[in-house]
Amino acid sequence: MDTPHPGPDLHPHCTIVPPYLLVRLAKLDDPRFAQAAAAARESLLRDSQIRQLRGGEHPFTYSGARTLPARTPGESDRTISDAGGQERLPGRRVRAEGQPAGSDPAVNEAYDSLGATQALFWTQFGRDSIDGLGLPMDATVHYGKQYDNAFWDGERMVFGDGDGQVFNRFTISPSVIGHELTHGVTQFTANLQYEGQSGALNESISDVFGALVEQHTRGQSSAEASWLIGDGLFTDQVEGVALRSMKAPGTAYNDDVLGKDPQPGSMADYIETDDDNGGVHLNSGIPNRAFYLVADALGGNAWERPGRIWYNTLTGTGLGRESDFAAFAAATAATAAQLHGIGGAAHNAVLQAWVTVGVMTGRE
């Protein structure tokens, strides 16, 4: 029997590369990086146009109720399309579920990481795709000319190829793909407002599950994992390892061109700003570090106890659209107590992590 599919609220345009990085690149007046500067300017313009359109009628907006074919719950249903350097979606379909890999690495990487994201959410949390109801996982690669970003538009993943000087292709990192698809999970669950602390939580939750997708795929324990978001995105010309570090926010890059990673790792360094939707890509370092600290304290596989606590909090009833860090910290502590007992190792690890990053005082 066909299943009607409900449409979500309009989703904000969430990109993996923070706008402040592209702004810095766009302002470069160095002939050695002319290509990167031009690509950054075009990428910023494209992102700005999409954000403006998201407030009204837009070709990316969710099309309303959908009828999905009968399928076995948990099965992947992936389609990869190729935009061919254009900015029209979805592009030409080049690979469907079950078809063999071809010669295009971007197509293969997108296909594999969409499947890895589906596998994590289904096998570990019992969630059937992004919406929990088997939503097909669609992606478009080779979007635009040297487009320096990747985003979830409310219906599909979209990947640029990067400028080749600063950024590689955006399918190269499983954590990027897991990150963007998790924006879809948040869209269908807590639907956290993409502004201020709730927006930083939205970004952090995507980083958490992006990291877990990568770790689960590679069979890495918490101790073995890099805890990097976007490992491999930078070319060899950049002095940096990734876009962000969950383990040590503020250390992912320190480059003459890009500057130093500005993410804070505690409330003592919280950044008040009107840029970047109130610092959503900046202050997300604080809850990111809290999750890492929980995973480090508990050991083993981070997708097990820590991942379950974060997932149940995201999909439960304890969050509102405008929940701030304190509300999220309290909700994760309550979830840990419910799952593992008050005063148990998991509950204590969650409380201590939020104290360490300055969100809780230790008297809660």
Q: How many residues does the chain have?
A: 364
Q: Give the domains, in start order, of the chain with CATH numbers.
A: 3-188 (3.10.170.10), 196-356 (1.10.390.10)
Dist. CA 71–CA 240, nearest whole Å: 43
pLDDT at 68 over 60: no
Output the pLDDT for position 2: 31
Cβ of 155: how many Cβ atoms within 10 Å? 21
Token match 């289904």: residue? 122
Q: Is-contact 60 43, C-beta < 8 A?
A: no
Dist. CA 364–CA 361, nearest whole Å: 7
Dist. CA 162–CA 160, nearest whole Å: 6
Output the pLDDT for position 48: 76
Output the pLDDT for position 210: 98
Output the pLDDT for position 71: 75
Residue pLDDT, tens place only, 215-274: 999 999 999 999 999 999 999 999 999 999 999 999 999 999 999 999 999 999 999 999
Output b/e per residue, 32-59; b: 16+ Cβ within 10 A: ebeebbbbbbbbbebbeebeeebeeebe
Split at pLDDT 50, 70, 90, the class of 362 is confident
Which two structure tokens, joined as six digits, stand for 85?
């350097």
Dist. CA 44–CA 28, nearest whole Å: 14
Output the pLDDT for position 153: 87
Active site residues: 180, 281
Q: Is-contact 115 172, C-beta < 8 A?
A: no
Whole-number average pLDDT of the chain: 91
Measure the N-to-C terminal CA separation of the chain; round to a whole number of Å. 49
pLDDT, average across residues 162-186: 96
Output the pLDDT for position 1: 29
Cβ of 300: how many Cβ atoms within 10 Å? 12
Sort strands 78-82 and 137-141 into parallel, antiparallel or unpaired: parallel
Split at pLDDT 50, 70, 90, the class of 8 is very low
Output the pLDDT for position 12: 65
